[in-house]
Amino acid sequence: MNCRILHERPGRLRVHMRQCNMSLSEADRLEAYLKGISGVIEVKVYERTADAVIRYRFDSSHETEKSPERESILRALSAFDYDRVPELPVPHSSARALQHEYEDRMARKFVFRAVRKLFLPVEVRQVLAVVKALPRLWRGLCCLLHGRLDVEVLDAVSIGVSLLRGDHGTASQVTFLLGVGELIDEWTHKKSVNDLAEAMALNVNQVWMLAGDGTKVLVPIRQVQADDRILVETGNLIPLDGVILEGDCMVNQSSLTGESVPVPKGPGKSVYAGTVIEEGSCSIRVTKAAGSNKYDQIVRMIEDSEKLKSDVESRAAHLADRLVPWCLGLSALTYLLTRNATRAVSVLMVDFSCALKLSMPLSVLSAMREASRYHITVKGGKFMEKVADATTVIFDKTGTLTNACPTVVDVIPFNSQDADEMLRVAACMEEHFPHSMANAVVRAAREKGLDHEEMHSEVEYLVAHGIATKIGRKRAIIGSYHFVFEDEGTRIRKQDQKAFDEIPAKYSCLYLAIGGVLSGVICISDPLRPEARDVIRHLHEVGIEKCVMLTGDSRRTAEAIAEEVGVDDFRAEVLPEDKSDYIRSEQALGHTVIMIGDGINDAPALSLADVGIAIGSGAMIAREVADITIAAEDLTELIFLKQLSDALMRRIQHNYRFVMSFNGALIGLGAVGLMPPGTSAMLHNGSTLLLSIRSMTNLL
């Protein structure tokens, strides 16, 4: 497409697309296309002028016109064609359409008012003032008929009194300002919800697609079209709506239906984006490509879910409603003392409801949006409030305090077995299950060139325990110490006991037993995240009283890790139910508990904790039940989350103080006759707007 460079400086281009007009859809598609170019940092497309502003990475060693990123962008712009990029997903409810709609509505409102004042005679304007006031008078009357004293009653009384006094100008001005305020309220709230939904919708980027010959190919989700086949396995999210072709599975649909129990799904059954496969795997024929379905589902979740409402938001709404009778009473008292209706109306022009009911949700939505920019997904405002109040943080070890990239460092054979043979057997059993330690075993066997073709009957996976099968006529098991020795009663030959006792405590171990006798121990090193110790220290500095590590490892291993990372307490050889029991005991002591985990076995504890935080690279079921998800790259995001939550609570308290003091001052000035009704209404609505705008700014 032809375009012209309007302005440029190092790292920034402004180009004009040579077309008569640009639709909202075309602007969205162009923006999505430009964001996909390597080296591009940020893109903003202005559909009204058909311009695009592009920020890109710039190396100061290059001249502006010779920058490879710049040349790549210009080549991509030259090759761009709206008809050649149909696969780019464009949300049905785009932020651009929302902005366009409300800009037009606001402009029409001001233009029509200016036209009425300039060209219509006084008598016509008075009739219009009455007509415009009727809906507000009716809403106030409805509130009274239902026995409620809401802010609508204040508005109706103030407008009604002005009309009865023959002051049509004040009534018209108040009606106009109230309309502008409501439009801004609606606009800012929808924009915040829309921005947050866009951030939360970008969680699945790649899927396994089945080619015609049955091979699996990892592709970007935007390339998947209707009727393509995708594969989803245990613990993973179903990324697109579709129908199961092959396989039976148990699907957790709580995100859509609220059902706490997974439902069975088989061939021919429909499945939906956002649900999670807890057991089994299946191939799915896609019925809806990536785009608006998941986005709209998230928007509905944010708008409708009570999770969005934090306790402070609810308290603000209740306080605003309770103050309405006091405002009415004060207005009546002002009239009784002064016999001045103008002063009484000035008092009625000011209420606490708008500012309190709008600024609190906007503060929460802004904090959630800011968190999403740092790859932290928060499912509701009340969870940030709980993070601010938290006193205890509980960590799972593997994949949370460690990198979840374990490697096999040694294979110790027992019962006169060969080390390579035991590694081969272990890899044969472990290859069926997507777990970090299982992957380490399979990877080690592959690196040694050990062929581990199927040699056993059907395997059984026991969550948080291990794997059991039969090799020949002998029962073979592999898993944790608790599972192998305590549950299964595996014995160690006397001549092997000394070697067993000398296994280094710093390693995590998988124990392999065949025929009830210990046959091999696979020593696995899963190094701590380099930032783990600093994160624990910083958590204490920002107000966390107790950091605890829970792990299924042996006590020796857990003790060594706990000492290295610096937690206050630890529990070893724990099962999923043990984690839940520990959380209950902490909550019984009055502590607000955060649980951080990444595995399928962490799901019950994540659900039970006051705040469940899942690691982004962990099992999908853990991310589904968790209240907050952080990216896998760096645990320091926990510190940012705590600081952000604390800052949110401080902003909310500041908003409380400002609303009460500023509006209280306006009421006082109106009562003593220093503030006319129109000015009171203008300052009240203006302060609400400014407070709302401030509430939408970043906290950190």
Identity of residue 263: V
Please say if the pLDDT value at position 511 is more than 80.
yes
Tell me the H-state helices in 281-310.
292-304
Q: State whether residue 493 is helix, strand or coil.
A: coil
| Tokens standing for residue 554 | 């042996």
What sign results for the dihedral spanned by CA atoms 326, 327, 328, 333? positive
Q: State whether residue 73 is helix, strand or coil.
A: helix
Lowest mean pLDDT among 309-318, 532-541, 579-588: 309-318
CATH topology assigned to domain 206-296: 2.70.150
What backbone torsions phi and psi does residue 15 show, to the nearest 5 degrees? Answer: -120, 150
Give the Cα separation of 256 and 304 in Å (integer).
12
pLDDT in tens, 434-475: 566 777 888 898 888 887 565 555 677 665 567 888 887 888
Report the DSSP pairing between strands 216-220 and 206-210: antiparallel
Neighbour count for residue 691 (Cβ, 10 Å): 22
| Tokens standing for residue 568 | 């206050």
Q: CB-based contacts of 21: which residues, under 8 Å, 6+ apart?
A: 50
Say if pTM beats, i.e. exceeds, 0.75: no
CATH code 3.40.1110.10 for 407-525: yes
pLDDT in tens, 517-555: 999 999 988 778 888 899 999 999 999 999 999 987 778
Give the Cα separation of 588 and 574 in Å (integer).
20
Determine the average pLDDT of the residues in 607-619. 81
Q: State whether residue 220 is helix, strand or coil.
A: strand
Determine the average pLDDT of the residues in 214-223. 78
Question: In terms of CATH architecture, what is 3-88?
Answer: 2-Layer Sandwich (3.30)
pLDDT band at residue 221 using 50, 70 and 90 as cut-offs: confident
CATH topology assigned to domain 376-402+530-632: Rossmann fold (3.40.50)
pLDDT in tens, 625-678: 788 888 766 788 899 999 999 999 999 888 888 888 888 888 888 888 888 877
Q: In the prediction, which pLDDT does 87 show?
A: 45
Q: For the chain, report the end-to-end CA distance as a whole number of angstroms.
A: 41
pLDDT in tens, 80-105: 888 765 544 444 456 677 777 888 88
- The domain limits of the chain are 3-88, 99-198+308-352+648-695, 206-296, 376-402+530-632, 407-525
Output b/e per residue, 599-627; b: 16+ Cβ within 10 A.
bbbbbbbbbbbbbbbbbbebbbbbbbbbb
